Structure 1
Amino acid sequence: MRKLLSVTLTGLAATPAMAGEMAVTVEIPRLDVAEYHRPYLAVWVEQNDQAIANLTVRYDVQKRDNEGTKWLKDMRQWWRRSGRDQSFPIDGVSGPTLPVGEHTLSFDTAKGPLAALKPGAYALVVEAAREVGGRELLRIPFEWPAKVAVSQSVKGSSELGTVALAIKP
């Protein structure tokens, strides 16, 4: 016999509306290669080919003496537009490399770098580079701020699988 639990909550103040969210789903494909290394990954927002906001930079953060940063310049577009001007690790942005699989990264649109975006046309850019491997860069254009829910994706051909962008106002 299953028992049901009934709970009544009273006296609670109204909950404010949740802030919007930007979710970026990145697929790291399994590659059939002799020497596999996890890719370094940068995700940022740009406008007119200028980096506006770094969302995440994934690299070998465990190497001593910050040696993992040595290979960040292999993500050429990100490095030229933003990376070379940074101090590593970037607080709230840097993280370890991601294993094979699908990973969803969520960002609050009311906090951090997204809160400062002015209305206009932007692109989400995802760049991956792998030691003893290749490079790949994908762009997803979007309008800011989103007035309705947005969902777009693009498929990579080598270092990245499907990259999806979902924005909830």
Structure 2
Amino acid sequence: MKKAFLLLTPGLATAGAGEVQLTIEIPRLEVAEYHRPYIAAWLEKPDKSHAANLTVWYDTEMKNAEGEKWLKDIRQWWRKSGRSLKMPVDGVSSPTRPVGTHTVAISDKAVDMTKLAEGEYTLVVEASREVGGREMVRVPFKWDGKTTVDASGAGKTELGKVAIKIETQASN
């Protein structure tokens, strides 16, 4: 079994976590010029402050890391934490994804759920597409370290269904 890790400040209450899965659907759009969206997913605390980055999908193949200059177009994520990161981030950043439903296990290099304090959180997924639109989906959930989290929401244009599932060690 994989253990999931979340980079947070020390001294938080601990709770048992197994695997963290994130599902993001990128819908097929009937447009003249289609580009894969840049997507960031992160956790927020109730005061909307940043708790952890889960994943960032962007064009990692461009010469001279040119794809990184467009990360600021994922505006909310950029303001919360993106501008302070040195990309690429091991276990967090990866290439853009094509149309379809993508489920990823969050890397233990990115998230240690055992250090996530019990309480209310929100999964935030933001998408931005060149010659396209922007969209953000917010999915609230409660983390107590004992109960499996299985929460989802849906976008209307740039994003389809987004979901987070956190298996606790007790439920495995």
- Cα deviation, residue 156, structure 1: 0.5
TM-score normalised by the chain length of structure 1: 0.83
Kindly indicate whether the alpha-carbon contact (under 8 Å) linking 2:72 and 2:78 is maintained by their aligned counterparts in 1.
Answer: yes
- Percent identical among aligned pairs is 54
Aligned residues between the structures? 154
Structure 2 CA distance for partners of 1:152 and 1:111, relative to 1, 3 Å: same
Aligned equivalents of 2:42, 2:81: Cα separation in 1: 9
Aligned position for 1:28: 26
Secondary structure (helix, strand or coil) at the match of 2:60 reads: coil
Secondary structure (helix, strand or coil) at the match of 2:71 reads: helix
TM-score normalised by the chain length of structure 2: 0.82
Aligned position for 1:80: 79
Runs of 4+ in structure 1 deviating by more than 6 angstroms, as ranges, are 108-111
Rg (Cα) greater in structure? 1
- Cα deviation, residue 150, structure 1: 2.6
Identify unmatched segments of 5+ residues in structure 1: 1-14
Aligned equivalents of 1:111, 1:59: Cα separation in 2: 17
Structure 2 CA distance for partners of 1:77 and 1:113, relative to 1, 3 Å: farther
Kindly indicate whether the alpha-carbon contact (under 8 Å) linking 2:36 and 2:96 is maintained by their aligned counterparts in 1.
Answer: yes
Aligned equivalents of 2:110, 2:83: Cα separation in 1: 24
Aligned equivalents of 2:147, 2:94: Cα separation in 1: 30
Identify unmatched segments of 5+ residues in structure 2: 4-15
Aligned equivalents of 1:41, 1:68: Cα separation in 2: 13
Q: How does 1:8-157 map to 2 (within 5 A)?
A: 20-47=18-45, 48-107=47-106, 112-157=111-156
